[in-house]
Homo-oligomer: A and B are copies of this chain.
Amino acid sequence: MNLESEPVSASWSIDPDSREAVYQQIAARLAREIAEGQRAPGERLPAIRTLAAELGVHRDTIALAYERLAHAGWVEGRVGAGTFVRPSEATRESLGSASPLRGSGIRGRVGHATDESAASLEAGVTAEIRLSPQVERLLALADTRPRYATGDDVVALHRLVPDPRFYPLEAFRTCLDEAIREEGPELFSYALPEGDPRLRCAMTDRFRKLGIDRSADELVLCHGASQGISLALRLFSRPGDRIAVEVPTYANVLSALTGLGLEAAPVRMDEHGADPADLDRVLERADVKAFYTIPSFHNPLGTTMPLDRRRQILEIAGRHGVPIIEDGFELDLRFRGEELPPLAALDESGGVVLLFSFSKSLFPGVRVGSISARGRSLEGLVALKHATDLSDARPLQAALARFVESGAYDRHLSRIRAMLGERHEAMARALPGSMPDGTVWTRPEGGYQLWLELPHEVDTRDLLADAARAGVIFSPGSLFMPDGRPSRAMRLTVACADPGEIRRGVEALGEVVDASRAAGPGIGRVAGSHL
């Protein structure tokens, strides 16, 4: 049988509901055919494009299946020629759950010998170890995520990591040194689950300026806003429940939901944030246990929810008795316009937990975020944090306390905000000349990210490889869709590109976009506008 000449889609069954990812099913099927001699050594596998079309799956899925087969030694890629069945079976590895002779069980690798797989294909079977269904789904989700090319000459308009060129390392190191000298060994013992008291006080003082009038006892430090998301989700929900999320939303919250066995309940957005009527409708459902939202400097949109919309959202959530998980991960990064109170500052019911992070305003490596909460929510968070990992690293928290107290953090913020204003300005100047008529994009008042929607039907995932070759990377819009649907949008960031790099990147991107328009109509099923 030769897939090049004979379509396989009729005889292959791809089960989209299987515990195995689609690419795993495909890899397993091909490995079985090779093992059973249906595919001879040296035989070429079908072209990625061909097999994708036959099976009705994305080309990335086929590419991933081939990659797995190559990694396991079953096939090898030859540049420009295709993918070929390898001559010898001696170097083949089991494909784990995709191993043809082992059903769908998970199997670890035995020893280091490269001939292990031949053995494993024949060896007696010990019982299979199974991963939890939510971890299997998480792995399948991870497989759909783009893997970005990297390189020094590539403009990284996809990164949402503060520019290392701006890290105030020397000042922080001094604070760290001071903390260790002053606090001594106790600093290296277990911290309270809620974290270093001095840092919580310093943060509370800053929050007060944003209208968040809570005590230091109502602040739980955690491992970045990302851990805060996991803890807050667990606080209100259990597997099988739904969490209302904006469409689009932060990609990693979708991973967190998947890993916790939760489902996203999508809420439409307009340029002011979550659509009130749609939120009202979604929160009707009894299995929706919380609403995750990013009111300021939305990720990926870059938009900010005005005050009246904030009050509306609070009223709706309050009426339904649904708590709000407010992600304030860039709360300190406003570079123009006036500060708006977070939902947590407007809320009087105790139904809002607010996440905050130093990862974007200072650097991620300090691993400090926080959750503001009240009453039983607060008690629950402290208990969860303790049950999850006891406590965080106090040495870094104590150093950060000194860094904030000394005013160094506010001085750093001034620099960062000025840099943000400058880079967003460069972006706003570069886009009109490079993007086709009808392209729209957001003008953020804070944070690193903005959202751009192309006027023509195209799945921006399909532009990634060309863009990387042209020297620029972006995040395709589908990454931020709860259902992963194609999108003609992309998220751009100014985090790791200076004005010159932004200009260069946007110009390269414009050429790739132009080429895609010239190539004809897109796939005809891309998501509508979010702006």
Contact = CB atoms under 8 A, between A and B. Distances in A.
A114 interface: no
Interface stretch (A182-190, A268-276, A403-411, A501-509): A182-190
Given A108-B374, A131-B235, A131-B236, A393 B365 contact: yes
A161 B126 CA distance: 39
Contact of A186 (B139, B164, B252): B164
- Quick one: which of A129, A258, A380, A392 has the most chain B CB within 10 A? A129
A386 interface: yes
B321 A129 contact: yes
Contacts of A180: 169, 173, 176
A184 B165 CA distance: 10
Interface of A: 96-97, 105-112, 126-136, 138-139, 142, 161, 164-165, 167, 169, 172-173, 176-177, 180, 184-191, 213, 215, 222-224, 226-227, 230, 234-239, 241, 252, 255-256, 258-259, 261, 289, 318-323, 348-351, 359, 363-367, 373-380, 383-384, 386-396
Given A126-B349, A188-B364, A389 B224 contact: yes
The count of identical subunits is: 2
Contacts of A161: 189-190
B185 A387 contact: no
Given A112-B213, A138-B383, A139-B376, 14 more contacts: A96-B375, A112-B215, A129-B323, A129-B376, A131-B377, A132-B289, A164-B186, A169-B185, A223-B389, A224-B389, A226-B389, A239-B261, A255-B383, A365-B394
Contact of A259 (B186, B215, B234, B323): B234
A265 to B, nearest CB: 16
A160 to B, nearest CB: 10
Given A230-B389, A380-B138, A239 B238 contact: yes
A108 B377 contact: yes
Nearest to A133: B238
B96 A376 contact: yes
Contacts of A222: 389
A176 B190 CA distance: 19
The 9 closest A-B pairs by CB, nearest first: A108-B350, A127-B321, A188-B365, A108-B374, A164-B185, A108-B375, A227-B389, A106-B376, A259-B387
Contacts of A173: 177, 180
Given A112-B213, A390-B364, A318 B380 contact: no
A351 to B, nearest CB: 5
A156 to B, nearest CB: 12
B318 A127 contact: yes
Contacts of A172: 188
A367 B393 contact: yes
Contacts of A96: 375-376, 379
17 contacts: A97-B376, A106-B350, A108-B377, A108-B378, A111-B213, A111-B348, A126-B321, A127-B320, A129-B236, A132-B237, A135-B380, A138-B383, A177-B177, A188-B365, A191-B365, A252-B386, A365-B395
Contacts of A176: 176, 180
A126 B189 CA distance: 42
A485 to B, nearest CB: 21
Contacts of A164: 184-186, 188-189
A165 B188 contact: no
Nearest to A382: B142
Contact of A235 (B132, B177, B258, B322): B132
Contact of A375 (B109, B226, B363, B378): B109
